[in-house]
Amino acid sequence: MLLKFKKHVYIYSMASTLIAESGSTKTDWCLLQKGKKPVYFRTSGINPYLQGADEIKAQLKKELPDDKAIFKADSIAYYGAGAGSKLKKQELKQTLQSIFKIKDVDVQTDLLAAARSLCNDKKGIVCILGTGSNSGFYNGSKIAVQKPSLGYIAGDEGSGNHMGKRVLQYYAYNTFDSELRMVFEQYYGNDISQLVNKLYTEPFPNRYLAQFVKMLIDNRGHFMVENIIEDCLSDFFQQHILKYRQSYNYPLYFTGAVAFGFKDIIESLCSQYELKVGKIAQNPIEGLLLYHKSK
pLDDT at 113 over 80: yes
Q: How many domains does the chain have?
A: 2
Residue after which a domain boundary falls, among 186, 203, 230: 230
Categorize the per-residue pLDDT at 10 as very low, low, confident or very high, splitting at 50, 70 and 90.
very low
pLDDT digits (tens, 9 = 90+) for 207-248: 999 999 999 999 999 999 999 999 999 999 999 999 999 999
Q: Are residues 172 and 222 in the same domain?
A: yes
Question: Per the domain annotation, does 174 fall within a domain?
Answer: yes
**What DSSP line would sit under 79-138, residue for residue?**
EETT--SHHHHHHHHHHHHHHH--S-EEEEEHHHHHHHHHTTTS-EEEEEESSSEEEEEE
CA distances, 188 to each of 97, 192, 194 (Å): 40, 10, 10
Q: Taking the CB of residue 26, how many other CB atoms lie within 10 A of it?
A: 19
Task: Say yes or no: 24 and 108 in one domain.
Answer: yes
Q: Is residue 90 part of a domain?
A: yes
Cβ(227)–Cβ(149) below 8 Å: no
**Residue 95 sits in the same domain as residue 174:** no
CATH code of the domain containing 181: 1.10.720
The DSSP bridge pattern shows strands 124-129 and 17-22 to be unpaired
Q: Cα–Cα–Cα angle for 146, 45, 156, nearest 5°? A: 35
Q: Which domain holds residue 99?
A: 17-114+284-294
In a domain, 103, yes or no: yes
Residue 82 belongs to a domain: yes
Do 165 and 110 lie in a common domain?
no
Q: Kindly tell me the sign of the dihedral angle through the C-alpha atoms of 289, 84, 147, 149.
A: positive
Is 204 inside a domain boundary?
yes
Q: Taking residues 19-41, what's their average pLDDT?
A: 89
Give the pLDDT of residue 14.
52
- CATH number, residue 66: 3.30.420.40
pLDDT of residue 202: 83
Residues 81, 161 within the same domain: no
Domain boundary (230, 258, 273) is at 230
Boundary (domain end) residue, out of 195, 215, 230 = 230
28 and 107 together in one domain: yes
Average pLDDT across the chain, whole number? 90
**Which residues face 26 on adjacent strands?**
44
Is the residue at 249 inside a domain? no
Residue 12 has pLDDT above 80, yes or no: no
Asked if the model's pLDDT at residue 295 lies above 80, the reply is no
Q: Look at residue 28 and give its three-state secondary structure.
A: strand
User: Which residues, in sequence order, are CB contacts of 152 under 8 Å at separation 6+?
Assistant: 24, 132, 159, 161, 205, 206, 209
Whether 241 is in a domain gets the answer: no
Q: Residue 266 domain-assigned?
A: no
Dihedral sign, Cα of residue 288, residue 291, residue 294, residue 295 = negative
